[in-house]
Structure 1
């Protein structure tokens, strides 16, 4: 995909949806019901909670209860959300030269990995499979 302008929120949302659609059905089914949202940058509250100084330090975030901590008896208080942050992703894209679709896919996989309670090593293996 070529861009004559910085990719918009809608462009990244479309990439995230395409990347999600291309994932194995079992993985998609396991996160069914989770919303995938793209925002420009993390808000101040998120940065403070994550102890980050700059919004470009965070490309994505999983908000919800990981499957490893869910109980069949518990009632979810909020829906699970996978957030992708446009500006930090674009900064990483520019700095690394990584293919933008692959970068969006990897951030999405990373956040889905948190849903499953995967370790960073397990997530890195999943990212390398695409």
Structure 2
């Protein structure tokens, strides 16, 4: 599947807007970033939470750099054949990475049916 970087950014933004308020209300000092590839250049990783989960923080506040949720454009485009599939996969990636922000691990995500 092909999609320009700008169109993909818009799609990610649209999917963020569709997430339930209770999921995003607790997000603090976090930014969402779209990159073409992960650091190692692979296309296996769809997204990454880069930060310290809420469950692991003892003190956090002023002066701390924001945590990041990174969505990898090319991995998504290679994994999907249609825009509907792409939207679903981006949505799943966002939920998955936001869950990591809250300290929910992959095993629990699978139990909840979110991964």
Alignment TM-score, normalising by the size of structure 1? 0.74
How many residue pairs get aligned? The number is 113
State the Cα distance separating 1:17 from its structure 2 match. Answer: 1.5
Q: Say whether 1:104 aligns with 2:100.
A: no
1:25 equivalent among 16, 21, 27? 21
Q: Is the alpha carbon distance of 1:30 and 1:11 closer, same or farther for their aligned partners in structure 2, counting shifts above 3 Å? A: same
Output one character per residue of 1:50-76: Cα deviation in whole Å (capped at 9) or x when no partner. Answer: xxxx511111111111111112x3346
Structure ranking higher on relative contact order (CA contacts 8 Å, 6+ apart): 2
The Cα RMSD (Å) is 2.5
The secondary structure found in structure 1 opposite 2:25 is: helix
Shift of residue 107, structure 1, vs aligned partner: 0.8
Please say if 1:85 is aligned against 2:72: yes
TM-score, normalised with respect to structure 2: 0.82
CA shift, 1:31, in A, is 1.4
Query: For structure 2, which runs of at least 5 residues remain unmatched after alignment?
Result: none
Answer yes or no: is the 8 Å Cα contact 1:109–1:126 preserved in 2: no
Which runs of 4 or more aligned residues in structure 1 lie more than 6 Å from their structure 2 counterparts after TM superposition?
none
Q: Which has the higher helix share?
A: 1
Aligned to 2:7: 11
Gaps of 5+ in 1: 48-53
